[in-house]
Amino acid sequence: MSSNSNSTNRESVHLAVYDTLADWEPGHATAQLARAGYEIRTVGPTREPVRSVGGLCIQPDLALDDVRPSDASLLILPGADLWDAGDDLAPFASKAREFLDAGVPVAAICGATAGLAREGLLDDRDHTSAVSFYLAATGYGGGERYVEADAVTDGGLVTAGPTEPVAFAREILRLLHVYDDEAVDAWYRLFHDSDPEAYAVLEKAGVL
């Protein structure tokens, strides 16, 4: 069970939200973190509502300019069409740099990995994404650090491709030490592989 679940001061995880947000990508992570006692706070470009690619209207809790690394345990950057449609989301990549420089981890999936590549944050960290040539198209200098894997954690940064929301969540749960390794592995086997034997491990760990 998470060490945070019995805390009176809930740790906060910041979830970036913006127009064309890929709904399916952060859901496993945020749901499990919330169940473990974390407070999920949404961060938009402003406090104005945004609409996901699935049509969900989201009212951000915070505007990006008001976000400080000291107020969060993690910043999650989901994918969105806007990451590849111009510089509208570049401020979120800059904020990711601020978090990493402060020693606060960041998790980026899908198009957000390209945003971080443009920001130079993948040049000196092992990372992954949808495919290597997707990131290569950004002109970044980290191609030799690209790893063919479902998700990668290095230097306080989690990266994953758009088809790996469960692996993305797995890495986040490990990085924040939400559960022990055995429970995280069982959680992944349950939600990724539909392994019924994982239930017993999770029940014993108090996760379910």
Q: How many other C-beta atoms lie within 10 A of the C-beta of residue 67?
A: 20
Is 12 strand, coil or helix?
Answer: strand
Q: How far apart are CA 51 and CA 27, in angstroms?
A: 16
Q: Residue 172 CA to chain centroid, in angstroms?
A: 7
Q: Distance between alpha carbon 164 and the CA centroid of its chain, in Å?
A: 11
* Catalytic residue from among 110, 116, 117, 151: 110
Asked if 102 contacts 41 with a C-beta cutoff of 8 angstroms, the reply is no
2 in Cβ contact with 36 (< 8 Å): yes
Write the CB contacts of 1 (distance below 8 Å, at least 6 apart in sequence): 36, 179, 205, 206, 207
The dihedral of CA 96, 71, 64, 164: what is its sign? positive
**Residue 110 appears among annotated catalytic residues:** yes
- Cite the active site residues: 110
